[in-house]
Structure 1
Amino acid sequence: MNSESSVYHKRRHSARTTDEYLFNQLVPYLGNKRRLLHLILEALESTGTLNSKNGRSPIFADFFAGSGVVSRLARQNGYRVIANDWEPYSHALNSAILSCTEAPAFKELGGYQKAIDYLNRLPEVKGWVTHNLCPRNDEIYDPSRDRLFFKRRNGMRIDAIRQQIATWQAQGAIDDVEMSALLAPLLYSASFVSNTSGVFKSFHHGWGGKTQTALERIESLLWLTPSRFCPMGEPKKPAAEMWCVDAQHLANQMRTFEVDVAYLDPPYNQHAYSSNYHVLNALTLWDQVDLPTPDTKGFKSGIDRAWRKERPSQYNSSKYAKEAYEKLVATINARYILTSYSTDGNIEAADLLQANLKRGRVTLLTQDVPRYRVSKQRQSERARVLEFIVITDTHAKSGPPLRQLLGQLYHFAELGGVDTTGVSTQLALW
């Protein structure tokens, strides 16, 4: 795979319409690396593990898989993948798409396409989603007393489809991988038709928000299409090993063997993914928790207390992120450690680099990107931030000192990183 094929083009790689495995049905996601895949591929090339000729597939361990796009990149380039994320929705999104080289069999249901077709034809059902995440009336609603995550028809379609998947699972008609192959299109489609900016911590007060630019998307009919799969891998063997645990727990479990590449993309700021994507977790777990009404203090968006109080990562805290990262990097057993981070993150660049320098020689790749804004109407004093990849060779101990690394990093940050053509700059460190 050449670097050009990993460069994201908004129109050509629309998640809803593209057939390309790398970008097909990617959920809108905070910190999504789809625009930085060419940079990550460049980092992999610098390690020498890409297109390995030693007779075995190199192992790529993704500790914070999220949307799964970086693990897809690794799969597509011949790596055996270990993909982990402690959010249930991420596990559901990625299990089948990463571990299968072709569509699961669905023997009990006549094949994957027939299972998808059956779900699309189901009559609408008023269930948990309709009662908790939709208004009582699409035309006459009160945002202080109604949740407007979905139009009622789409809410009822989600209810019908999710309940049927649960029924098939209870009957033994589908296994865990087949369930993931059904949940992934449902989670993507639910995200697509949601009355949000891409995260579920809040909804638009009115369909499509003030500008109504997303109205066509929100009013479109929820419809499932099959996931795409990457044919690379050994026949009849899972192409990926899936985990759903805390990253530190995975590092502890993997201490007895060395992987070729460990990829770290921890949360940058205080916004917990468990809260931002609580609706996707609810659809994944289908525990149908009784939610207080929207006018109950603290429950306007319907975020269960468990997701708010029990699930935030240490990386969401400026107080604990540094210590958590230092411990993780010190524990990981990998030849190369690649860390994606930002000058906008909770961990200071000096602390992050110092943790990696303790493990080996460090080089950097950088690119400036637009700073995330919930709305285009909201302006920021810092319109752009510097995204960088720390490449650590744990077998090499000599390299540039921290002061030199910081000087060059801040130099590129001050200049705006790289030019706007999307071509990265590798820092000359010695």
Structure 2
Amino acid sequence: MSSETTVYHKRRHAARTTDEYLFHQLVPYLGNKRRLLHLILEALEMTGTLNTDGKKKRAPIFADFFAGSGVVSRLARQNGYRVIANDWEPYSHALNHAILSCVEAPAFKELGGYQKAIDYLNRLPLAKGWVTHNLCPRNDEEYDPARDRLFFKRRNGMRIDAIRQQIATWQAEGAIDDVEMSALLAPLLYSASFVSNTSGVFKSFHHGWGGKTQTALERIESLLWLTPSRFCEIGRPNQAAAEMWCVDAQHLANQMSDFEVDVAYLDPPYNQHAYSSNYHVLNSLTLWDQTDLPSPDTKGFKSGIDRAWRKERPSLYNSSKYAKEAYEKLLATVNARFILTSYSTDGNISATDLLKANLERGKVTLLTQDVPRYRVSKQRQSERARVLEFIVITDTKAKSGPPLRQLLGQLYHYAELGGVDTTGVSSQLALW
């Protein structure tokens, strides 16, 4: 696979319509690396570990510690790596388990095959349940934004309820295993995201269908419909192509400390926004614990985020106070020949601190790209419209390389070229 074929094209690679494994049914996701895949592939090429032609005697191992949407692990799968994928959010595990570990659709022997299982779910009659009661208004046409949650139209809420409950029933009856469960949940989570009355995250919903501009009304009013996941055919049908974890990244690093992987990929959260809150609806659909939520007019429960997700689930990387220490500890524990770290000049960890930590592990090389800053709404303008994303490539077996000041100068140079605010980087550069 060449870096050109991984360049994201908004229309050609639209998650809902493309058949390409790399982009098919990718959930809208903060920090999604789909626009940087060509850069990540370039970084992998620089490590010399690519196995695209499958000629290596042993498939190189790629460990993704913060898998998220799974797109980077998909890239690794397509390029011949054996993948270890981890994310401590339950929805991420559900999205990625089957898609990464299977080289073909799971058998679904008890249900007559994967397509028949999907078809059965799509034909289910509407059913009022947890989603309809907690995430939909009492009436789609006559709603009160102060007293109703508007995450889904009632018809789609009832479809989600019917489908999710049937999946739970099949699981309880032993009709599906964990991989087959993931193969059904992944299309459901994607489809629920697609028809949601949000801008991609579930920390809030539009006050009114489609928001003030109603630009997404066609999507929100469309019928929730499941389509089968796509799978990467590289590998053996009777052998899992990926090892899946759902733990804290530091815990995984501790567990693997005596086992060296070829490439470790680190993509920790950049800012204060916790994924557990931003995607709490996807977690609820995954776990299906059906905890009844306080009414929307209860203080602190407008969006229905469970207090446990807000208080117990935020990552240390969401804190400017603890992110640096957490990263340094993780980096010191990871056992890998090459470590690739994705980060941004807009993150909680300063470029200086990040680079210093990596220089402690080995030779550092940088790849950079300026990208548009994430905006919830296209109508909201930002004084700083672009940020610099960069990949830190650390060769842990090499010690001589560019010093810190040279690396900071490189970041400053590319930030200026990309029209990125260089205040933070330039002030750090001045100290060195």
TM-score higher than 0.5: yes
What is the CA distance between 1:405 and its match in structure 2?
A: 0.7
Go from structure 1 to structure 2 and tell me whether the alpha carbon gap of 1:334 and 1:417 turns closer, same or farther (over 3 Å shift).
Answer: farther
Equivalent residues of 1:362, 1:399 under 8 A apart: yes
Structure 2 unaligned spans of 5+ = none
Whole-angstrom CA distance in 1 between matches of 2:422 and 2:257:
40
What is the CA distance between 1:379 and its match in structure 2?
A: 1.3
What is the CA distance between 1:235 and its match in structure 2?
A: 3.3
Equivalent residues of 2:408, 2:425 under 8 A apart: no
Whole-angstrom CA distance in 2 between matches of 1:84 and 1:180:
15
Report the identity percentage. 91
Equivalent residues of 1:39, 1:424 under 8 A apart: no
Equivalent residues of 1:354, 1:402 under 8 A apart: yes
Go from structure 1 to structure 2 and tell me whether the alpha carbon gap of 1:95 and 1:284 turns closer, same or farther (over 3 Å shift).
Answer: same
Q: Secondary structure at the match of 1:409?
A: helix
Equivalent residues of 1:135, 1:141 under 8 A apart: yes
What is the CA distance between 1:290 and its match in structure 2?
A: 1.5
Q: Secondary structure at the match of 1:350?
A: helix
What is the CA distance between 1:51 and its match in structure 2?
A: 2.5
Whole-angstrom CA distance in 2 between matches of 1:301 and 1:208:
16
Equivalent residues of 1:200, 1:279 under 8 A apart: yes
Equivalent residues of 1:75, 1:230 under 8 A apart: yes
What is the CA distance between 1:376 and its match in structure 2?
A: 1.3
| Post-superposition CA distance 1:302-321 (Å, at most 9, x none) | 00000000000000000000
Picking from 220, 235, 239, the partner of 2:237 is: 235
Q: Which residue of 2 aligns with 1:344?
A: 346
What is the CA distance between 1:177 and its match in structure 2?
A: 0.2
Equivalent residues of 1:367, 1:424 under 8 A apart: no
Whole-angstrom CA distance in 1 between matches of 2:373 and 2:89:
24
Go from structure 1 to structure 2 and tell me whether the alpha carbon gap of 1:144 and 1:428 turns closer, same or farther (over 3 Å shift).
Answer: closer
> What value does the CA root-mean-square deviation take over the aligned residues?
3.4
Further displaced range: 228-237 or 280-289: 228-237
Whole-angstrom CA distance in 2 between matches of 1:419 and 1:347:
16
| Post-superposition CA distance 1:159-187 (Å, at most 9, x none) | 00000000000000000000000000000
Go from structure 1 to structure 2 and tell me whether the alpha carbon gap of 1:152 and 1:291 turns closer, same or farther (over 3 Å shift).
Answer: same
Equivalent residues of 1:367, 1:418 under 8 A apart: no
Q: Secondary structure at the match of 1:427?
A: helix
| Post-superposition CA distance 1:41-73 (Å, at most 9, x none) | 000000000137541110000000000000000
Whole-angstrom CA distance in 2 between matches of 1:255 and 1:421:
38
Whole-angstrom CA distance in 2 between matches of 1:336 and 1:267:
20
Picking from 154, 157, 173, the partner of 1:155 is: 157
Whole-angstrom CA distance in 1 between matches of 2:331 and 2:19:
36
What is the CA distance between 1:365 and its match in structure 2?
A: 0.2
Whole-angstrom CA distance in 1 between matches of 2:25 and 2:431:
38
What is the CA distance between 1:234 and its match in structure 2?
A: 2.5
Go from structure 1 to structure 2 and tell me whether the alpha carbon gap of 1:79 and 1:423 turns closer, same or farther (over 3 Å shift).
Answer: farther
Structure 1 unaligned spans of 5+ = none
What is the CA distance between 1:387 and its match in structure 2?
A: 0.3
Per the normalisation by structure 1, the TM-score is: 0.97
Equivalent residues of 2:409, 2:429 under 8 A apart: no
Whole-angstrom CA distance in 2 between matches of 1:332 and 1:410:
28
Equivalent residues of 2:384, 2:421 under 8 A apart: no
Whole-angstrom CA distance in 2 between matches of 1:337 and 1:377:
38
Whole-angstrom CA distance in 2 between matches of 1:424 and 1:402:
13
Whole-angstrom CA distance in 2 between matches of 1:304 and 1:369:
33
Whole-angstrom CA distance in 1 between matches of 2:330 and 2:132:
41
| Post-superposition CA distance 1:107-132 (Å, at most 9, x none) | 00000000000000000000000000
What is the CA distance between 1:417 and its match in structure 2?
A: 7.2
Q: Secondary structure at the match of 1:423?
A: helix
Whole-angstrom CA distance in 2 between matches of 1:234 and 1:425:
52
What is the CA distance between 1:426 and its match in structure 2?
A: 21
Go from structure 1 to structure 2 and tell me whether the alpha carbon gap of 1:419 and 1:107 turns closer, same or farther (over 3 Å shift).
Answer: farther
Q: Which residue of 2 aligns with 1:43?
A: 43
Equivalent residues of 1:195, 1:204 under 8 A apart: yes
Whole-angstrom CA distance in 1 between matches of 2:50 and 2:355:
24
Q: Secondary structure at the match of 1:269?
A: coil
Further displaced range: 403-412 or 419-428: 419-428
| Post-superposition CA distance 1:150-207 (Å, at most 9, x none) | 0000000000000000000000000000000000000000000000000000000000
Whole-angstrom CA distance in 2 between matches of 1:308 and 1:406:
35
Equivalent residues of 1:366, 1:389 under 8 A apart: yes
Equivalent residues of 2:130, 2:161 under 8 A apart: yes
Equivalent residues of 1:364, 1:426 under 8 A apart: no
| Aligned residue pair count | 430
| Post-superposition CA distance 1:69-111 (Å, at most 9, x none) | 0000000010000000000000000000000000000000000
Q: Which 4+ stretches in 1 moved above 3 angstroms?
A: 417-430
Per the normalisation by structure 2, the TM-score is: 0.96
| Post-superposition CA distance 1:339-366 (Å, at most 9, x none) | 0000010000000000100000000000
Q: Secondary structure at the match of 1:322?
A: helix
Whole-angstrom CA distance in 2 between matches of 1:107 and 1:98:
20
Equivalent residues of 1:278, 1:307 under 8 A apart: yes
Q: Secondary structure at the match of 1:424?
A: helix
What is the CA distance between 1:425 and its match in structure 2?
A: 23
Residue 311 (1) aligns with residue 313 (2): yes
Equivalent residues of 2:262, 2:337 under 8 A apart: yes
Equivalent residues of 2:16, 2:25 under 8 A apart: yes
Equivalent residues of 1:248, 1:328 under 8 A apart: yes
Further displaced range: 403-412 or 314-323: 403-412
Whole-angstrom CA distance in 2 between matches of 1:323 and 1:423:
20
